[in-house]
Amino acid sequence: MRAPEGLFPALPRHIKGRTAELETLARTIAATRPARLALVGAGGSGKSLLAAALAHRVARDFPGGIHWFRVGAWDFRTLAEMLALRFGTSRERRALVPGLRHHLSHGGERLLVLDNHEDDQAMARLLDALAGTSTTFLITARRCLLAGVLIYPVTAPLITSGKSAFPRVAALTRVLRWNPLALDVADAIVASGAASAQELGTFLDEHGIARVHVIDHEDDLPEVALLVTWAWKRLSPASRRMLGVLSHVEGDSVDRASLARLARVRGEEEATAAVVALEHWHLIQEPMKDRFAVHAVVRHAVRRRSTLAPEVAFDHYMALLEANPGRLMMEQTHLFAAMDHAHRIGNLSSMLRIERLLQRLDEGVAS
């Protein structure tokens, strides 16, 4: 069995209540590959976790490897350049798509996971441009209005049966509306001994968990936001700053050293303690060893109570890649976040700085 390649999340330690779905999805891919499949569901419903588990399950069917991309709201050009940088193909405008098509048509079938998709027009253009290659595309999205893609709805596990995937906090299952992310955080809090399920339930009730009101968007979930509120008061300043950094950085996962530096946490002992506290309550994720991220729903809740100037992350990751271009594979999404920031603010010096870095990267690929 060929293992998933670079930047791919580790095999989930447990994925509760998804056995039937995994079997159905694996059979679907086997019967239709190369396929285009979208896992669509509300924030915190478990789409990315399901995608990771599914990709690991079907890895043996893809000798060309499995590749994970966090795509977000990037436009078509950015998406195509992201793939080109990963696969070492040309970024030159006219050669961009032909280069990708040639690469994805040779070397065996591949599975590309496009996580957290947000821009339907950009995704439609990308999938159409790469149609006919020996590549299966697995997309995760809160919403997906794409023809020609098989949509698989993802709901909270066990909700249709009324059962609970987290026995320790079973009494909170209805209160938290079966949301897997909320239940996972609540379960971790109770398991740590920091609060009982009854105490958490009282807190949630007193803070209006049952109140009906309009939310801003799919990531504005009170089930998770209230648990973040409970935890925030009990976290150390260092843990709060780290959680804030992970919630404001526009790229994907952040390595331990970068996280400590951006959060102004000095000393290995303090940094380790801050990370451990966040992991203890499942407020952060570790998709790869010593690289950390937050779920989009947690990100939204934390952003309301923390700040990080975009220039801070821009300068950090530009300096990091300028000093060590070989880290591009791991920091790719941070490079594209830097590009997006430079274009958004219209800063010419930042754009030129990025262009110089990209030229160095192109020269490295060519050599």
pLDDT in tens, 116-135: 999 999 999 999 999 999 99
What global pTM score does this model have? 0.84
- CA nearest neighbour of 254 among 316, 302, 309: 316
pLDDT at 331 over 70: yes
Distance CA 49, CA 45 (A): 9
Those residues with Cβ within 8 angstroms of residue 209's Cβ, 6 or more apart along the chain or in another chain: 175, 176, 222, 223, 226
pLDDT at 67 over 80: yes
The phi and psi torsions of 17 (rounded to 5 degrees) equal 75, 20
Contact 5, 36 (CB under 8 A): no
Distance CA 91, CA 267 (A): 40
The 10s digit of each residue's pLDDT in 100-111 is: 999 999 999 999
Tell me what pLDDT residue 13 has. Answer: 56
pLDDT at 79 over 80: yes
Average pLDDT on 174-182 reads: 91
- Does 1.10.10.10 match the CATH number of domain 237-303? yes
Distance CA 61, CA 47 (A): 21
pLDDT at 52 over 60: yes
pLDDT at 3 over 70: no
Cis peptide bond prior to 63, omega within 30° of 0? no
pLDDT at 362 over 90: no
Most confident of 56-60, 75-79, 223-227: 223-227
The domains of the chain are located at 19-153, 167-232, 237-303, 311-366
Distances (CA, A) of 79 to 39, 67, 155, 196, 254: 19, 14, 28, 45, 20
Look up the CATH superfamily of 19-153. P-loop containing nucleotide triphosphate hydrolases (3.40.50.300)
Contact 35, 139 (CB under 8 A): no
Alpha helical stretches, state H, 75-221: 76-87, 93-104, 120-129, 180-192, 197-206
Average pLDDT on 43-70 reads: 91
The 10s digit of each residue's pLDDT in 87-102 is: 989 888 899 999 999 9
Residue 68 one-letter amino acid: W
